Amino acid sequence: MTARLKIWSGAVSLIVLGAMLLPPQAQAQSTNEGLALGLSLWGGYVFPSNKAHSLHPAGGAALFFRLSPHVVLEVESGFSAIPTESQSQGLSQGRLFHVPLLLNILFRLPLAKSPFALFLTAGGGYAFNIMQLDADMVKNFKTLGFEVSETCRAAALFQAGAGLEVLFSPQLALEAFGLYRISEASGEWSITDAVAGLGLRFIF
């Protein structure tokens, strides 16, 4: 089993176990109906398809608006520091700080009167990128008389995915999710990632 499958299956198992331990009154309150405002926090791991990028953690937060039991809109911000390997002429080695700002729509499917809900999500926005070159590499070039720097422009980002949510109370939900993200930045930079994570939703 790959590391990606292990993380995803472990996250889902934790949620199922938590739901089984819910008291009956929490399950009865899990319909989550009507308009609501809330805050979500998430963390997980990113599995890049770009061979010059390494597995790395990521996290973020979102302000969400529940329009109905089935439709949620959210404004999300995230952060990750992508370890990068040397690509061309010994450059691009270091860390790429990646900060996306996204508008997402989420479609929920509550499962009968259980605390579970399946969901699909899709969205897009803009990702801000800051490249920090490896200090030793910069020093080596400097000893040869060269000053080096590198930039990675901001670029559009799109994502889609699915997940499983469990409601512990009308004010608190835990979710496990998987996402596919793509962003075409400058030069050789192409960010195409799979994300597996866990999140908490606080409903006001």
Say if residues 54 and 193 touch (Cβ distance below 8 Å).
no
Any idea what the Cα angle at residue 174 is, between residues 170 and 175, rounded to 5°? 125
pLDDT of residue 10: 55
pLDDT of residue 26: 45
User: DSSP for 18-77?
Assistant: HHHTS-HHHHHTTT--S-EEEEEEEEEEEEESSTTB--EEEEEEEEEEE-SSSEEEEEEE
Q: Chain-centre distance of CA 184, in angstroms? A: 17
Residues with pLDDT less than 50, the chain: 19, 24-31
Q: pLDDT tens digits for 138-177? A: 566 667 767 666 777 889 999 999 999 999 988 999 999 9
pLDDT of residue 35: 87
Buried/exposed 58-97: b ≥16 CB within 10 Å, e otherwise: bebebebebeeeeebebebebebebebeeeeeebbbbbbe
Say if residues 75 and 61 touch (Cβ distance below 8 Å).
no
Please tell me the number of Cα atoms within 13 Å of 136 on its side-chain side.
2
What CATH number labels 3-203?
Answer: 2.40.160.20
